[in-house]
């Protein structure tokens, strides 16, 4: 059972949206609207900024990271029931882990910020692969470390890039609607299920 981090295990969506607004306001002179930047969530910052603003990608990265790290503790939130779900999956003997587009240090800070710093057996971060979501590489890297095959894996995420990553790897995906993606957009990617609550996810994973 592998999970995305932002918008799936930890509620960082307000933090991310405000970080994008700060970076684009600072560098471009105008904040990118939240309805646009919400669709950027799930890919690496480098891939996002290189694709949209290649001439000022480095400046945007610096502005985003500085503001994000300074405001993480103030804006990060827990998802009720997520810590208990991860613990119960582990107690049931299931290998669990996080596969994120975030760099390792901020990913670890995020997990610590929601009280999950000691709860995650495996963390696959941006530095671990040269290609990133929606490519299969991050998920396949995690499965190699866990000595599992794609057909033995379920990947849980809140963005279309998570569902596409799972499909590319040959794994099942469950999409959750409490993060970045809209239910309609997630359903259009054909995950095995779209769930609206942590309780519904628990029922799917543990019965």
Q: What does the block give as tokens for 193?
A: 């299920």
Give me the percent of the chain exceeding a pLDDT of 70: 100
Q: Which of 45, 98, 40, 109 is nearest to 71 (CA)?
A: 109
pLDDT in tens, 40-68: 999 999 999 999 999 999 999 999 999 99
| Domains of the chain with bracketed CATH | 2-11+77-206 (3.40.50.1000), 13-75 (1.10.150.240)
* Residue ranges of the chain with per-residue pLDDT less than 70: none
| pTM confidence score | 0.95
């Amino acid at each position: 059972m592998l999970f995305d981090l932002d918008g799936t295990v930890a509620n960082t969506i307000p933090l991310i949206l405000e970080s994008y607004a700060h970076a684009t306001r600072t560098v471009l002179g105008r904040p990118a609207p939240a309805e646009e930047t919400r669709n950027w969530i799930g890919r690496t910052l480098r891939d996002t900024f290189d694709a949209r603003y290649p001439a000022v990608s480095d400046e945007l990265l610096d502005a985003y990271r500085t503001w994000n790290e300074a405001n993480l503790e103030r804006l990060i939130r827990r998802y009720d029931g997520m810590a208990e779900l991860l613990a119960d999956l582990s107690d049931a003997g299931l290998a669990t882990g996080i596969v994120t587009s975030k760099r390792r240090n901020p990913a670890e800070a995020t997990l610590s910020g929601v009280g999950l710093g000691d709860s995650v057996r495996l963390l696959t971060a941006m530095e671990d692969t040269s290609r990133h979501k929606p490519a299969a590489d991050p998920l396949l890297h995690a499965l190699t470390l866990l000595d599992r095959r794609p057909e033995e894996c379920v990947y849980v995420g809140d963005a279309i890039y998570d569902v596409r990553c799972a499909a590319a790897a040959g794994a099942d995906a469950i999409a959750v609607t409490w993060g970045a993606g809209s239910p309609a957009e997630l359903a259009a990617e054909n995950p095995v299920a779209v769930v609206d609550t942590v309780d519904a996810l628990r029922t799917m994973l543990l019965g």
